[in-house]
Amino acid sequence: MTSASSFGAMPPVKLLLDCGVVVLAGSDNIRDAWSPFGNGDMLECALLIAYMSAMKSDADLLAAFALATQSAAQALGLENYGLRAGNSADLFVFRAASVQEAVVTHAPRDLVIKGGRIGQKGLGA
């Protein structure tokens, strides 16, 4: 697990992924002593992981995004994760042509839904 903190060492994410290790992104660092610039934005965390791990290709950027989404859900043992009928309605919609674009541009979230309820609009705007 990595939070892509700007302080201290970070696991060799690309090498671990290449070796088949489940790597995930997480964050509890919201403006604390460990990470005074942390804001809990997992899309930004994916960007920082990609940047700090020299993950530059489209495949790499997609993998960085997965660390904060599917990989985290897998490592936590979450069932019914993903966009399927009957799953929990926790999602966000971003303004970008692709996941890769969303990661590198800090795409604004136009719609945030948690537990089926519409949340605060414009995270990252």
Residue 103: its H or E element? helix 99-105
Whole-angstrom distance, CA of residue 70 vs CA of residue 42: 12
Each residue's pLDDT expressed in tens, for the chain with a length of 125 residues: 887 876 667 899 999 999 999 899 987 767 777 777 778 888 988 999 999 999 999 999 999 999 988 898 888 888 888 888 888 878 889 899 999 999 999 898 888 888 888 986 544 44
